[in-house]
């Protein structure tokens, strides 16, 4: 497994690119912007998933465009799914940010497992920051 990390967005949020070195399949953890910097970070990765840790705007704002560019599936927890289509719920409207609504492809719950090539990624519910905050254990 290979993990890359980079800061993005106006608040310098972390994004991670996880790659299964056996198959070349990758997942982006959070998608704070859709920009040349983000596209350079992802590069030629075979991006299969965008794994959202929660639904606040600063973690999802680039998901729609990155999903369209790479054909990746957006993964979010059930409690935070409504935030993907509401600037009010994602807090974008309170920060004068423009939200690019995105549709989820996979809705997860605590204990679910996502297969990324030969890697297993376990979903761990960590409510608090939002009702649907999750961590991903690889």
Percent of the residues in the chain that have a pLDDT greater than 90, as a whole number: 86
CATH number, residue 15: 3.60.15.10
d(CA 87, CA 97): 8
Q: What's the whole-model pTM score?
A: 0.95
Judged on CB neighbours under 10 Å (0-12, 13-18, 19+), 44 is exposed
Span 12-38, average pLDDT: 96
Residue 96: band (very low, low, confident or very high) from pLDDT cuts 50, 70, 90: confident
Domain of 80 in residue numbering reads as 2-137
What is the count of structural domains for the chain? Answer: 1
Top-confidence residue, 122 or 98: 122
**For position 105, what pLDDT does the model report?**
99
For residue 106, list its beta bridge partners. Answer: 75
Give residue 123's pLDDT band: very low, low, confident or very high (50, 70, 90). very high
**pLDDT value of position 98:** 76
pLDDT digits (tens, 9 = 90+) for 1-18: 999 999 987 788 999 999
């Amino acid at each position: 497994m290979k993990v890359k990390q980079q800061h993005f967005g106006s608040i310098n949020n972390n994004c991670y690119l996880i790659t299964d070195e056996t198959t070349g399949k990758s997942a982006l953890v959070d998608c704070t912007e859709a920009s040349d910097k983000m596209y350079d970070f992802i590069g030629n990765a075979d991006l299969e998933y965008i794994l959202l840790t929660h639904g606040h705007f600063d973690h999802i704002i680039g998901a729609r465009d990155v999903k369209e560019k790479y054909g990746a599936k957006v993964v979010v927890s059930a409690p935070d799914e409504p935030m993907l289509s509401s600037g009010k719920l994602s807090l974008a409207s309170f920060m004068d940010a423009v939200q690019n609504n995105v549709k989820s492809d996979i809705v997860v719950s605590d204990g679910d497992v996502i297969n990324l090539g030969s890697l297993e990624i376990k979903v761990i519910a960590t409510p608090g920051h939002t009702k649907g905050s999750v961590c991903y254990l690889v």
